[in-house]
Amino acid sequence: MVQPVVVGINGTAESLTATDWAAEEALRRDLPLTLVHAWDPQRLANVTLAMAPDAQQTVAARLVRDTEERVGARHPGVRVTGELVTGPEVAGLAERSEGAALLVLGSRALSPVLGFLVGSLGLKVLRRTRCPVVLVRGRDQEGGTAGGDIVVGVQDAGEAAAPVLSFAFEAAAARGVAVRAVRAWSLPTVFTFRPSTIRRADEHGGLEALERQTLEDTLAPWRERYPRVPVVPVLDFGSASEVLLSAASDAQLLVVGSRGRPGGGRHIGAVGHAVLHFAEVPVALVTDNT
């Protein structure tokens, strides 16, 4: 079964930017595109000046149809279908993400200081899904990042990094650009100190050298699997979120990992929250296989 690229739409400028991004990604991957708009008749039921349910449904259906036509006009060749889902947006998007290759959501820019508004709805959708999710900023199309690298955070080592590296290398191969693999390191604290780590660091010539070797060892099988994708390892001292945000300033996509929950969904984590709110480029959140 072919897995589609799914994008949530609601008629806003941010939604349209996300739709354009999703359409281009569907073309690159030769996948169908599914537009999903959730119409919740209960949401406005108690609002004094709300339209009647039939009128609301008509407007919602028109939004889906107009967006589908817009995609057809702007992105010829995309196999696009629109779906009007009845019920809460979070549940509707989470359900449609099951079996999807990718879920794309829009986000609104606030200011250079405050960052971007992911919103409670976006965070709820992220927490309930397991497929890769890309958050696209409302101004990404004007950001001049189309020719940038794919930046990926490599905080896990070995096989644990496979899901996030697989996504990043596939994205880079499809675009014909390099992967910039970024790993942050810091001195161990009293809570993270391990004698075995210090012994290994001494064998490699210090903690920084050990971290660099760990990064190279993790990337080695991916270099072999994607020999035509240039790889730029980046090791920097500092917090993971700060290092990633700095490295991704001119990227066309930032890829970070998240932890899966045993009962479904994902745990975003502190680094994920930081890049989702403050990165100025599209962010892909990829869940591990746990």
| Average pLDDT of the chain to the nearest whole number | 84
Tokens of 122: 């976006």
Q: Return the pLDDT at 49.
A: 46
71 and 159 belong to one structural domain: no
pLDDT tens column, 216-270: 999 999 999 999 999 999 999 999 999 999 999 999 999 999 887 776 678 888 8
CB 254 within 8 A of CB 201: no
CATH of the domain at 205: 3.40.50.620
Domain that holds residue 67: 5-142
Q: How confident is the model at residue 273 (pLDDT cuts 50, 70, 90)?
A: confident
Query: Average pLDDT for residues 89-106, to the nearest whole number?
Result: 90
pLDDT tens column, 202-222: 566 567 888 899 999 999 999
Q: Return the pLDDT at 150.
A: 97
Where a domain ends, among 94, 124, 142? Answer: 142
pLDDT tens column, 46-71: 554 456 777 878 888 999 999 999 99
Q: Return the pLDDT at 109.
A: 52
Q: Return the pLDDT at 165.
A: 97
| Residue 144 buriedness (CB in 10 A; 0-12 / 13-18 / 19+) | exposed
175 and 232 belong to one structural domain: yes
Q: How confident is the model at residue 149 (pLDDT cuts 50, 70, 90)?
A: very high
CB 14 within 8 A of CB 111: no
Q: What is the dihedral of CA 265, 269, 271, 273, to 10 degrees?
A: 70
Where a domain ends, among 142, 161, 194? Answer: 142
User: How many domains are there within the chain?
Assistant: 2
157 and 138 belong to one structural domain: no
pLDDT tens column, 170-207: 999 999 999 999 999 876 654 455 665 566 655 665 67
95 and 204 belong to one structural domain: no
pLDDT tens column, 105-118: 988 654 444 344 45
Where a domain ends, among 96, 114, 142? Answer: 142
12 and 138 belong to one structural domain: yes
14 and 138 belong to one structural domain: yes
Report the candidate in 235, 283, 233, 234 with the shortest Cα–Cα distance to residue 257: 283
Q: Which letter does DSSP use for residue 142 in this model?
A: G
Share of the chain above pLDDT 90, in %: 50
Which residues have C-beta within 8 Å of that of residue 127, sequence separation ≥ 6?
Answer: 265, 266, 267, 268
124 and 156 belong to one structural domain: no
Q: Return the pLDDT at 144.
A: 37
99 and 210 belong to one structural domain: no
69 and 123 belong to one structural domain: yes
37 three-state secondary structure: strand
pTM: 0.86
Which residues have C-beta within 8 Å of that of residue 184, sequence separation ≥ 6?
Answer: 153, 155, 235, 236, 237, 238, 239, 240, 242, 243, 244
94 and 112 belong to one structural domain: yes
